Amino acid sequence: MFLQTKNTADRVEVINPNELSDAFETKIHGRYQAGEERQDVEMFDKSALLFLSGEALPVCWTDPHYRDKEFQR
């Protein structure tokens, strides 16, 4: 799976998709897609990533408390 960075729109390959969908993980392992050679794996803040279409990641992937208001009633 590929995402892009918010600031530079560089393409990032997600190494472990489970990290991406885990709301308690704030960072993921990924690598930049640049040139023909594979880049080294780095840590990326999920808050700095977008889908290639420019859409933000789903809130349920980034905020572990996204449904708290529903249960406080």
| Residue pLDDT, tens place only, 48-62 | 999 999 999 999 999
pLDDT value for 73: 62
Average pLDDT value for residue range 1-29: 95
- pTM for the model: 0.84
Task: Say which residues have a Cβ less than 8 Å from residue 13's Cβ, sequence separation at least 6.
Answer: 1, 2, 30, 31, 32, 33
Q: How confident is the model at residue 67 (pLDDT cuts 50, 70, 90)?
A: confident
Q: Which of 3-7, 58-62, 64-68 holds the top average pLDDT?
A: 3-7
Residue 69 has pLDDT above 90, yes or no: no
Q: Cβ(51)–Cβ(57) under 8 Å?
A: yes
What residue ranges do the domains of the chain occupy?
2-71
Q: Cβ(32)–Cβ(41) under 8 Å?
A: no
